[in-house]
């Protein structure tokens, strides 16, 4: 899949003097049904996360607190996205190599996923990913 399928999506934001509210609904705000939710936090300064691709999994990544960068690579192009607002998220299509870096102190990365965890869906070796991307797997 081309990197152009990946994009920032603005979520609804209900403003209120007592605090704002944002929500995500299956296949309404994001292009898939949510089957798993997880979050990454307490990332030490200078650390990177990710460094893998998924064969079939769709993801929506939100910076719930703080900020970080998501670097996507489709095997031909690379693009960096800076996430720093909790009412925006990044849609990541399958077969996209991803690295997360540049975490600010106290950042929380929330990920909404289209499938439950399956190690078989991961590609953890970059050379294997490039070969699969070239073949259009």
For the residues 39-49, what does the mean pLDDT come to? 89
Query: What are the pLDDT digits (tens) for 99-116?
Result: 999 999 999 999 999 999
- Which one of the listed residues 52, 54, 58, 82 is annotated catalytic? 52
Q: Which residues pair with 41 in a beta bridge?
A: 108
pTM of full prediction above 0.85: yes
Output the CATH code of domain 3-135. Answer: 2.60.120.10
For residue 29, the number of C-alpha atoms closer than 13 Å in the C-beta half-sphere is 19
Burial environment of residue 92 by CB neighbours within 10 A (0 to 12, 13 to 18, 19 or more): buried
More confident residue, 125 or 46: 125
Q: Is 58 a catalytic residue?
A: no
pLDDT at 58 (0 to 100): 97
Phi and psi based region of residue 116 (left: phi greater than 0; alpha: psi -120 to 50; beta: remaining): beta
Token reading at 39? 């979050």
């Amino acid at each position: 899949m081309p990197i152009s399928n990946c994009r920032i999506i603005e979520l609804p934001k209900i403003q209120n003097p007592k605090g704002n509210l944002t929500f995500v609904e299956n296949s309404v705000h994001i292009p898939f049904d949510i089957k798993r939710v997880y979050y990454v936090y307490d990332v030490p300064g200078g650390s990177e996360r990710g460094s893998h691709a998924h064969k079939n999994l769709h993801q929506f990544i939100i910076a719930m607190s703080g900020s970080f960068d998501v670097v996507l690579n489709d095997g031909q192009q690379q693009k960096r996205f800076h996430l720093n607002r909790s009412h925006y998220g990044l849609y990541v299509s399958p077969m996209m190599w991803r690295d997360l870096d540049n975490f600010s102190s106290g950042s929380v990365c929330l990920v909404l996923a289209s499938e439950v965890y399956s190690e078989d869906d991961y590609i953890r070796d970059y050379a294997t990913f490039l070969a699969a991307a070239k073949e259009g797997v």
